[in-house]
Structure 1
Amino acid sequence: MTINLDGKVAIVTGAGNGLGRSHALALAARGAKVVVNELGGDRTGVGKSSAPAEEVVKLITEAGGEAFHHGANVTNYAEVEDMVQQTMDKWGRVDILINNAGILRDKSFAKMPLEDFQACVDVHLMGSVNCTKAVWGIMREQEYGRVVMTTSSSGMYGNFGQANYGAAKMGVLGLMNTLVQESAKYDIAINALAPTAATRMTEGLMPEDFTKLLSPEAVTAAAVYLCSDQAPNNTILCAGAGGYAVAAMYETDGIFLSPEEQNPDVIAERWDEITDTSKNAKLASGAEQSQKFVLKALAELEAQS
């Protein structure tokens, strides 16, 4: 199977460097027209430069593709709207959005200024919200769309010194989970990419031997798949160093407690049953959890009657 993106229009945020650059080049190589979004700051979000994005546009156009740069700050909805409007004016549609823009402001939680926490949430979470909101009506009207959130193992599993980054990266998964419920009939597939790659965002954080294995291109292979007609939906695809896996949240089957038993002492006594993973299930929506507990209660009450 060969993934072909001819005629598709893609917006990639944070596309001047690292993973975003790799994603933009790969999408263009597969036939997509690409908006190279890049503010051009350093990895903490400070500064501004169009040079990195202009280089990406040049590489795409020299290879025979179509691209333009837009310097929208993803935390500014008006600028994001302008970027989307320019895309519509030029190409008439938006098929693909990769929410890749990000910053790092690592510190232990005790030492982290709240401004650094807010900045990470603004870029990673609200940046994804802003960009997705700006294309949402377009994708619904054309009844087609592919949205890729960029999450992280730091959000799913935690990482020392990254409370801000981890919280934001877990937040985009909550966004994805709900948007999937609201977009099912419009052929809008929404997935998340959990990358491990050596970029300027990870400089000094990994041994050199590791960074040689962690090429951005390995992650981009997964990103392009999530942008294709063959993409799954509501999936977290993890990629790095040639490894690919799917992460998911599962819930134990749990137990039922009668009103008389519903106290912390009984919960403590039956903790092993509550945490038994032998009947783990992946729930498709929050409503399924409520349904599971209600059905469990009804079954128990019926058995007692």
Structure 2
Amino acid sequence: MTVAAVSHQVRQLEDGLGQKLLERGRTVTLTPAGKAIYPLLRDGFDQIAQAFALLGAPKEGDAIQVSTTRAFAERWLMPRLAKFNEIYPHIVVSIHASEKVVDLRSEIVDLAIRYGPVDADVRGPVLFEDRYIAVADKSICPVDRNATINDFHNRSLLAFKWKNQALEAPSWSVWLARVEHDTSRDFRISWYSEETLALHAAERGLGPLLCSNVLIDDELRSGRMRRVEGPTLSGFTYHLIEDHHCSPRRSLSLFREWLLSEAQSFRENTLKDVEGHRLTLTS
């Protein structure tokens, strides 16, 4: 529509209302009446645009930027992204892996998957809560029975430094206090600066690791890792954070729906196994 056509439509609207909406001089400004109705009209047109955006098909090469922790990106999200790519090959998903909490309004990120206690001031769906269990590579576990912590007195316990010092992290000291073990021997702890490094060390048989069941689930189910008999410690929540000030996009809506569906499936098929200790048995 041309500028002249828009101007003609506005004049017709003014005639119908019986009052001017625009002051026309060297520049065009709103009259008091125009200023009064502008916010309502703007919001209405924005909602119409959002509705059509949700109905429209995603464009070829439409990109989504997702922020999450390095460990969650590597161990849970990336192994499942192939499913999303098969369903929506035209949507490009980029992962920003960092322990830093990003500001969705100031950085080029569409949504974030954060880990920790749920902030009452932050609204967003919870994906799942995790549990902390002790695990070890099958190569250092007994072949004829379940592994116990006493099987690893000749190895260091593996642990990693938590980036968020405000969180009361599950620890080996708490875990050991809740399980029977040979107290005549001291356990050594080998510390890693990154959670992913500790996970890789455990997978290479360097020792048992106390870690989130969410991050080790695939390895437990495949039999590569085994659970060490002992308590299950409470962890925190993975929850989805979105910038609700951004205009909605069909591609983002599709990714969100897929992610929530994957999370629900994980909750139903995995967390109950941990609570029921179904992953502790020898294979």
TM-score surpassing 0.5? no
Point out the structure with max Rg over C-alpha: 2
- Name the structure, 1 or 2, with higher relative contact order (CA <8 Å, separation 6+): 2
Give TM-score, length-normalised by structure 1: 0.25
Q: TM-score, normalised by structure 2?
A: 0.27
Q: Hey, which of these two has a bigger chunk of strand by percent?
A: 2
